[in-house]
Amino acid sequence: MNPKQPLNPPTQQRALPGLTEKQIARLSVYRRLLQELPSASRPEIYSHDLAEMSRNTAAQVRRDLMTIGFTGSSARGYQVEQLIAAIGGTLDAPEGQTAALCGVGNLGRALLDYFTIWRPQLRIVAAFDIDPEKSGRVIHRCRVWPLAEMPQVVREQGITVGVITVPAPSAQRVAESMLGAGIRGFLNFAPTPLHLPAHAYVEEMDITTSMEKVAYFARTLAPAPVEES
Amino acid sequence: MNPKQPLNPPTQQRALPGLTEKQIARLSVYRRLLQELPSASRPEIYSHDLAEMSRNTAAQVRRDLMTIGFTGSSARGYQVEQLIAAIGGTLDAPEGQTAALCGVGNLGRALLDYFTIWRPQLRIVAAFDIDPEKSGRVIHRCRVWPLAEMPQVVREQGITVGVITVPAPSAQRVAESMLGAGIRGFLNFAPTPLHLPAHAYVEEMDITTSMEKVAYFARTLAPAPVEES
DNA sequence: GAGTCGCTGTGACAAACTTCACGTTGCCTG
DNA sequence: CAGGCAACGTGAAGTTTGTCACAGCGACTC
Ligand SMILES: NC(=O)c1ccc[n+]([C@@H]2O[C@H](COP(=O)([O-])OP(=O)(O)OC[C@H]3O[C@@H](n4cnc5c(N)ncnc54)[C@H](O)[C@@H]3O)[C@@H](O)[C@H]2O)c1
Ligand SMILES: NC(=O)c1ccc[n+]([C@@H]2O[C@H](COP(=O)([O-])OP(=O)(O)OC[C@H]3O[C@@H](n4cnc5c(N)ncnc54)[C@H](O)[C@@H]3O)[C@@H](O)[C@H]2O)c1
Domain locations in chain A as residue ranges: 21-90, 97-212
Please state whether strand C lies within 7 Å of residue B4 at its CB atom: yes
What is d(CA B85, CA A212) in angstroms, rounded to the nearest whole number? 15
Please state whether strand C lies within 7 Å of residue A121 at its CB atom: no
pLDDT at A6: 41
Tell the CATH topology of A21-90.
Arc Repressor Mutant, subunit A (1.10.10)
pLDDT at B154: 98
Nearest to B7 by CA among B188, B186, B199, B176: B199
Cβ-7 Å neighbors of strand D:
A 1, 4, 46-48, 58-59, 62-63, 65-66, 71-75, 77-78; B 4, 6, 20-23, 56-57, 59-60, 62-63, 73-76
What is d(CA B90, CA B20) in angstroms, rounded to the nearest whole number? 12
Residues enclosing ligand 1, CB less than 6 A? A 102-108, 128-131, 134, 147, 165-168, 170, 174, 189-191, 207-208; B 110-111, 113-114
CA A95 to each of CA A31, A98, A112, A181: distance values in angstroms, whole numbers, following the listed order: 19, 10, 22, 20
Beta-bridged to residue B92, according to DSSP, are none
pLDDT at B13: 38
pLDDT at B27: 98
Whose atoms come closest to the Cα of A177: which ligand? Answer: 1
Q: Which residues of B46-83 are buried (b: 16+ CB within 10 A; e: fewer)?
A: bbebbbebbbbeeebbbebbebbebebeeeebbbbeeb
Candidates B25, B28, B191; nearest CB to A32 = B191
Distance B78 CA to D25 C1' (A): 15
Distance A135 CA to D18 C1' (A): 44
Instruction: Find the mean pLDDT for residues B40-68.
Output: 95
Specify the amino acid at residue B171.
A
User: What is the phi/psi pair of residue B41, to 5°?
Assistant: -70, 165
Candidates B3, B93, B161; nearest CB to A214 = B161
Radius of gyration of chain A (CA): 20
Residue B229 confidence class, pLDDT cut points 50, 70, 90: low
pLDDT at A13: 38
Angle (CA) A25-A29-A34 rounded to 5° is: 150
Residue B17 confidence class, pLDDT cut points 50, 70, 90: low
pLDDT digits (tens, 9 = 90+) for A151-208: 999 999 999 999 999 999 999 999 999 999 999 999 999 999 999 999 999 999 999 9
Residue B120 has pLDDT above 90, yes or no: no
CATH assignment of B97-212, among 3.40.50.10470, 3.40.50.2000, 3.40.50.720, 3.40.50.10800: 3.40.50.720
